[in-house]
Chain A
Amino acid sequence: MTFRTCKLLTIFTEAALEKTLIRDIERLGATGYTISDVRGKGSRGLRNSSWEPNSSIRVEVICDQELAEIIVAYFQEHYYANFAMTIFTVDVTFYPSVSLQIL
C-alpha cells in the first residue's frame, strides 16, 4: 500500500470568495480541492448560511508542506484584513490513487 505524509490545508471563509480562492489555489499549484457549505460563528459574528451574503464555505486542499505555506502566506496577505477567514493545517496520511502514484 502506497502512502505519503501530506498537509491537509483547511480554510473557512465567506462563500463570496469561492471563485477567487479557487483561482488562487490552482494558480499557486494545487491540483485539487474540496468545497463544502458550512455555518458557524467566529470573530465576525454568526454566519448561518440563511442567504448568500451570510454563507460560509470550507475549502480543503491536500498538498505538501511547501505549497501549504505558500497558500497560507498568500491568503494572509490578501484576505485576512477584510474577510472572515480561518486557516489551519494538519498532518495527514494520504493514499494516492494509481494515476497519482505514477506522477
Chain B
Amino acid sequence: MDVIILFFLFGLAAGLLRSELRLPAALYDFLSIVLLLAIGLKGGVELAKQPFVDLLPQILAVIAMGIVLPLTAYPALRHLGKFKRADAASIAAHYGSVSVGTYAVAIAYLGSRHIGFEPHMPLLLVVLEVPAILIGIILARGIDRQTQWGDVAHEVLLGKGVVLLLGGLLIGWLAGPEGLVSIEPFFFDLFQGVLALFLLEMGLLTASQFGSLRRHGLFILGFGVIMPLYSGLVGTLLGCLLGLSVGGTTILAILAASASYIAVPAAMRISVPEANPTLSLSASLGVTFPFNVLFGIPICHMLAVYAHNLLGG
C-alpha cells in the first residue's frame, strides 16, 4: 500500500476516534494551493510540447462526458433514491465533476508503479470540473431566467481550483522545463509530502461525514460506491476510444469516477440553495472519496489494462 494512503487511514482513524487532532484551516488551504499549482505547472510544461489543436477532440469528448455523467446520475437519484429535484440535481452535479485530491492520489499511484500517462491530463481535469455544475443547475431549475448566469459563470470559472490549475498550466507553459528548475524542489520534490499531509486532513474530514452518513442511510452508501464504478467504466471506454495509453485511460477513468467536494458544493450552495448540502457531501466525501482512494484507483487501473488488452491497444 502506498505510504500516502496510510496517512489517509491515519487521519480517518484519528477522526473516528474523536482525537483532538485538528489541522488549521489555513494549512489545508495552503496544501491544496500547492497541490493545484504543482499539478498545473507539471501539465503546463508538457503542454508546451504539443499543439493545442491536437487536443481539441479530447477536450470536447471530456466536456461531453461531463454532461452525460450527471444526466445519468440524476434519474437514478430521483427515482431510485426518491430525492427531491434540487437534491438529486445537486448530487448529480457533484458526481459529474472532479476531485483534485483523488486525481493527485491517482498520479502518485501511477508514479510509484512507473506507469506513464499523457501529460495534458491536468487540462482535462480543469475541463471536466465545469460542465456538470451547469447541468446540475439546469436539472434543478430548468433554463430559468431568474438564475444569475453571470454569477454562476464567475463562481465556476474563477473559483479557486480552476484559477490555480489554469495559472499553474500557464506559468508552466510559459516558463518551460528550464524556467521551473528553481522552484522544482518546492513544487515537485515535496509533492508526495504535501499530498501525505493533505490526505491526513482528508481522512479527518471524511470521518466527520460519517455521522450524517448514518442519518441518510443505505442509498447514499450504495450510490457512492456504484456511481464511481459506472463512471469509471465510462471513463475507461472513452480513454480507449480517444487512444490514450493505459496510464492516461486510468487517469481519465478516475477523473470520471471522482466526485467534487470543493468547487461544486460552493457553486450549488449559491445557485441551488434549496438543495441540502449535507446529502451531497456525505456521498462525495463520506463515501466516494475514501472508496476511490482505497479501491477506485486500483480498479480503474485494472479496467484500463483489461480494456487495452481486449481492444489490442
Contacts and interface: CB of A to CB of B under 8 A. Distances in A.
Contacts, number: 43
Given A81-B274, A82-B274, A53 B269 contact: yes
A42 to B, nearest CB: 14
A66 interface: no
Contacts of A16: 265-266, 269-270
Interface string A76-95: 00010111000000000000
A40 B258 CA distance: 30
Quick one: which of B205, B262, B269 has the most chain A CB within 10 A? B269
B36 to A, nearest CB: 14
A20 interface: yes
Contacts of B262: 51-53
Contact of A50 (B28, B270, B273): B28
B25 A82 contact: no
A49 interface: yes
A50 B204 contact: yes
A83 B28 contact: no
A52 B22 contact: no
A20 B154 CA distance: 12
Given A16-B266, A54-B208, 15 more contacts: A16-B265, A16-B270, A17-B269, A49-B25, A50-B22, A50-B25, A50-B205, A51-B25, A52-B262, A52-B265, A53-B266, A53-B281, A55-B25, A81-B274, A82-B274
Interface of B: 22-23, 25, 28, 201, 204-205, 208, 212, 261-262, 265-266, 269-270, 273-274, 277-278, 281
20 contacts: A16-B270, A17-B269, A45-B278, A50-B22, A50-B23, A50-B204, A50-B208, A51-B25, A51-B28, A51-B205, A51-B262, A52-B262, A53-B262, A53-B265, A53-B269, A53-B281, A79-B273, A82-B273, A82-B274, A83-B273
6 interchain residue pairs of minimum CB distance: A82-B273, A16-B269, A53-B265, A82-B274, A49-B25, A16-B266
